[in-house]
Amino acid sequence: MQRALNFDHNPSLSLPLRYLLCAPLFAALAAATLLWQGEAAFASRWTPGMLAATHLLTLGCVSMAIIGALLQLLPAVAGIGLPRSKGRTVHAGLCAGTLLLAAGFLSGQPAVFALAMALLLPSLLLMLARCAVGLWQQHAPGAGTMMAAVRVSLAALAVTIVLGALIGSQFAWPGASMLRLPMLPLTDMHAMWGMLGWGGLMIIGVAYQVVPMFQVTETYPAWLTRGLTTWLFLLLVAVSIASRLDETPAHHFTQAGMALGAAGYGLFAAVTIALLLRRKRPRHEPATLFWYTSAGSLLAACLLVLLPWSAADTALPLALGTLLLGGFALSVINGMLYQIVPFLLWYHLQHNVPGGCRSVPGVRKIVPEAWGQRQFCLHLAALALLLAACHRPELLARPAAGVMLASCLALIFNLGYALRLYWRLRGAMPEGALAA
């Protein structure tokens, strides 16, 4: 059942906004890195440029946006009050640590990796602990499906952090013989838990709430929401264990687990598309188009996983990463930024501006819809070019990165317009009205 939002534990506006508004900045930095590196970045998924751009996207954009959304949705949807301390510290540590990690991949300097880990690990663990404290509280009725997804997603984040710390230690202290670890399997597992666990499970859980609420669709069917995220989490555990065993049955189990996982994520994508096709609001707003692109990209990635792969093929892994990161995750983030940021600005303004709702533009007017549609076209073109660049990097690497950068800059401009509108209207408020 859909629920009305509860703002009894609403955080200050600056808390989620500092995370949400940083997300497109880091996406732009990732695009600028690919533009700078050009064809060399697309030689494989292990190149310094590709690793730097990937972590700018995963840590700086995807994780930043997820944390910002969580800080707002947990109080508003689940009625959970999160501890208010350390918000700026976590944000500053995550920003600085992500930049240093990207610089470490590009420079290859162990000291830079060590400093990045010193900032990232405490910041991520503090954020994890903050959310864990909230999850001990009783959540509001009707938020159970989202909360189940949040719990397993945060557990996946914990696994991702541990694996990332083990891998990072190899770069930070390359001469330490006691730390010699199987890097390729660990890296694959780290990517799986980060993208499919932390990012994928969280997006599914958030979609259960925001797609029906903001896209005016029917709710997700109970047979899907009842246990999908839990089963996907258990599949990730099983595949991780089986992939470390050398026996032939374990290899077959790993393949079967990956096929089942692809079916589960693909089922979510297909149901999302079906709900959007039957939405009660016929107009396709920018956020709706981004949701279509996200679900379609996830469906394409699930089909790509099932194809036979050659160990010598570098294009397929890059294409899979592009579909999951640029198509599935980045599209969702674009769509949610166009919904959550204007809504938050509208909510805080209409409670403080003299005259209330009559003095504040509607939510859909905070960012002009035509601007969002133009930026969606840039995003779609960038996604298509990036997929093509995986196969022809010598021709398309820099054009793809350039269009991606233009899309990110357009998103930054659009959100900046909304923020400027907020500050202009805020000037009409009585002094001290925003102190809360």
Could you tell me where the DSSP H helices lie in 306-392?
A: 315-321, 330-350, 363-366, 369-389
Amino acid at 55: H
How crowded is residue 180: how many other Cβ atoms within 10 Å of its Cβ? 9
Contact status, residue 366 vs residue 387, Cβ threshold 8 Å: no
Q: d(Cα 201, Cα 329) in Å, to the nearest integer? A: 11
Q: What is the pLDDT of residue 435?
A: 32
Output the six-digit token pair for 352. 């403080």
**List of residues 6+ apart from 399 with CB closer than 8 A:** 385, 389
Distances (CA, A) of 75 to 69, 132, 216, 394: 10, 13, 21, 48
Q: d(Cα 423, Cα 319) in Å, to the nearest integer? A: 41
Q: Considering Cα of 100, then 103, then 109, then 113, what sign does the dihedral take?
A: positive
- The second-level CATH assignment, the architecture, of 14-173+181-424 is Up-down Bundle (1.20)
Give SS3 for 1: coil
Q: d(Cα 77, Cα 3) in Å, to the nearest integer? A: 7
Q: What is the pLDDT of residue 363?
A: 80
Amino acid at 240: S
Q: Is 358 exposed, middle or buried (0-12, 13-18, 19+ CB in 10 A)?
A: exposed
The DSSP element (H or E) to which 425 belongs, if any, is helix 393-426
Q: Say which DSSP state 62 is in.
A: I
Q: Say which DSSP state 67 is in.
A: H
Q: d(Cα 133, Cα 108) in Å, to the nearest integer? A: 37
Q: d(Cα 245, Cα 9) in Å, to the nearest integer? A: 47
Contact status, residue 64 vs residue 22, Cβ threshold 8 Å: yes
pLDDT of the chain along its 436 residues, tens only?
A: 445 566 666 778 888 899 999 999 999 999 999 999 999 999 988 999 999 999 999 999 999 999 999 888 888 777 777 766 567 888 999 999 999 999 999 999 999 999 999 999 999 999 888 888 777 777 767 778 888 899 999 999 999 999 999 999 889 888 765 556 778 889 999 999 999 999 999 999 999 988 998 888 999 999 999 899 999 999 999 998 887 776 666 677 788 888 999 999 999 999 999 999 998 877 788 999 999 999 999 999 999 988 877 766 788 999 999 999 999 999 999 999 999 999 889 888 876 665 555 667 778 888 999 999 999 999 999 999 999 999 999 999 999 999 999 999 999 999 999 999 888 887 754 434 333 3
How far is Cα of residue 174 from the mean position of the Cα atoms in its chain? 30
What is the model's pTM?
0.92
| Nearest C-alpha neighbor of 16 from the set 248, 354, 341, 335 | 341
Q: What is the pLDDT of residue 346?
A: 87
Q: What is the pLDDT of residue 432?
A: 40
